Amino acid sequence: MNMKKTIGVLLGCMVLQQAMSQHHQAIQVNIDLSGKAQTIHNFAASDAWSCQFTGAWPDSKRNQLADWLFSSDTAANGQPKGIGLSMWRFNIGAGSTEQGDDSGIRDEWRRAACFLGADHQYHWQQPAGQIWFLNAAKARGVQQFLGFLNSPPVAFTRNGKAFATKGLCNVSPEQYPLVANFLKDVVLGIQQTTGITLDFVSPVNEPQWDWSDGGQEGCPYNNEQIHGLVKAVDQSFRQHQLSTKILITEAGKLNYLYAGEDKPAKGTQIAAFFDQHSPFYLGNCSHVYKALAGHSYFTTSPRDTALAIRQRLHTTLKGIPFWQSEYCILGDNAGEMNGSKVDLGMDAALYVAKVIHTDLTVANASAWQWWLAISPYDYKDGLIYIDKNKVDGQIHDTKMLWVLGNYSRFVRPAAQRVAVQLGGNAEVKDLYLSAYRNKDNSLAMVVINSGTSAATIEVRGKGIPRGGMRSYTTNREGNLQPDNVNGHTLVVPARSVVTITQQLNKINSKQ
């Protein structure tokens, strides 16, 4: 008996769990350009902590690293040279590097240099490796930049360190104006030194954690303290007529944005900062960016939990844009994927791809940002891995890098996510799809096939041309491997991530 079955989730949230019974039969993919969701702002990664060293490595090595991360160029055969990140996150250090062993941060690679020296003067080339990567990103076409603080400068902290004591906020209210003026000076100093204007400054990182173990720079805050610091930064930026916006709140977990059962003074941040009746309301600050940022750590498994958290987040935001501003694989993730041990291959990459997909299609994330662009550690925390050597070493790209590139390279700033629906006679398993219309009227559809069988798809939709498609496949055999698609049907290999691009007809540009 041949029973037709149509399966679809509005706006591209495609998670199909049935068994594939007729994998040779094409699965219809219907794109609805009129079904509009969020606008994409950027895809990014951060320079913490290795770029302070790799930025001074031999030219051949550091340029290869920069090409992988930032380049939108292609080789003669159409092979992308890099993943074309559209934003770069710059770690504004607190000064633990200058303190050396006295900093209390045991791992030298997790210390960070501060522009403001012990002599109370600014040294704009102090983190020279990081500055090199800033310039390298700009030279390769990156147009958005964000500076973030893990801790205020040690000159302004209560204990003179870049991490906290007993989980207490490490900066007093009297120092908020000094931290604010420091950030103003950093924006202007980087601009003068490199010609780069930081589009965003993030003054608080994961305020829910106590940051008292000396593992890295960090500072806890409750919502009242965040309110006080951000108001001071807003005032300084306004007085000096900076264009830089302030991004809040970089919550340690997504559920802290809408709840806070275990962190009563540090949770419910959507209401705390954007409810006009809240004593901590920041929505009327001219330089506060009207969006909320959170980190996807510890909320990605099991699948039903990941969906529930993101559905509630999207509902609670009520139209406020959401940035997923930091992620790598941490913890055991309900036994699905352990964060320890480097994985250069597709197991970790497919897990990350599904996290990106869920954040974009369920939480409606407008930005998706990775943690360590370059890692020397034996964890699943890096897009690229290096030897832990200050002056030179081996470099290794990962499939996690390239599956992020399946999004970042082709879904550009100002793209709009559009609706996708699956249908046809074939039943499928482990297929995830989302589609995006770029500002230049090109279409990018990302297909994740985490199953062990290939799937054949047929792309259709009003305003979708019947030809002219090109695919870019990341799997065990290659990274963003380009290919022309004959007609509108193609095979998505098992355990792969494929981006399909196509130029839409100009006549449909206003749909």
Burial class (CB in 10 A: 0-12, 13-18, 19+), 124: middle
Give the mean model confidence (pLDDT) for residues 197-203: 98
Predicted confidence (pLDDT) at residue 10 exceeds the cutoff of 60: no
The angle, 0 to 180 degrees and rounded to 10, between the axes of the packed helices 399-408 and 346-361 is: 30
Do 465 and 502 meet the contact criterion of CB atoms below 8 Å apart?
yes
pLDDT confidence of 509, banded at 50, 70, 90? very low
Can the peptide bond before residue 302 be classed as cis, meaning omega within 30 degrees of 0? yes
Q: What pLDDT does residue 415 have?
A: 98
In the block, tokens 């930081």 appear at 198
Which run of H or of E encompasses 208?
none
Give the mean model confidence (pLDDT) for residues 241-255: 98
Alpha helices in 268-381 (DSSP H): 269-274, 303-317, 346-361
Say which CATH class 42-408 falls into.
Answer: alpha beta
Do 444 and 436 meet the contact criterion of CB atoms below 8 Å apart?
yes
Give 278's contacts (C-beta < 8 A, 6+ positions apart). 271, 272
pLDDT confidence of 25, banded at 50, 70, 90? confident
In the chain, domain spans:
10-36+421-508, 42-408
pLDDT confidence of 14, banded at 50, 70, 90? very low
Give 139's contacts (C-beta < 8 A, 6+ positions apart). none
| CATH 2.60.40.1180 correct for 10-36+421-508 | yes
Give the mean model confidence (pLDDT) for residues 334-358: 98
Q: What pLDDT does residue 24 have?
A: 60
For the stretch 390-448, pLDDT in tens is 999 999 999 999 999 999 999 999 999 999 998 755 456 799 999 999 999 999 999 99
Q: Which percentage of the chain shows pLDDT scores above 90?
A: 90
Nearest to 134 by CA among 175, 182, 190: 190
Predicted confidence (pLDDT) at residue 231 exceeds the cutoff of 60: yes
Q: What pLDDT does residue 427 have?
A: 52
Q: Which percentage of the chain shows pLDDT scores above 70?
A: 93
For the stretch 284-318, pLDDT in tens is 999 999 999 999 999 999 999 999 999 999 999 99
Q: What pLDDT does residue 6 have?
A: 36
Burial class (CB in 10 A: 0-12, 13-18, 19+), 53: buried
pLDDT confidence of 505, banded at 50, 70, 90? confident
Give exposure, 451-477, as e/b (b: 16+ Cβ within 10 Å): bebebbbbbebebbeeeebbbbbbbee
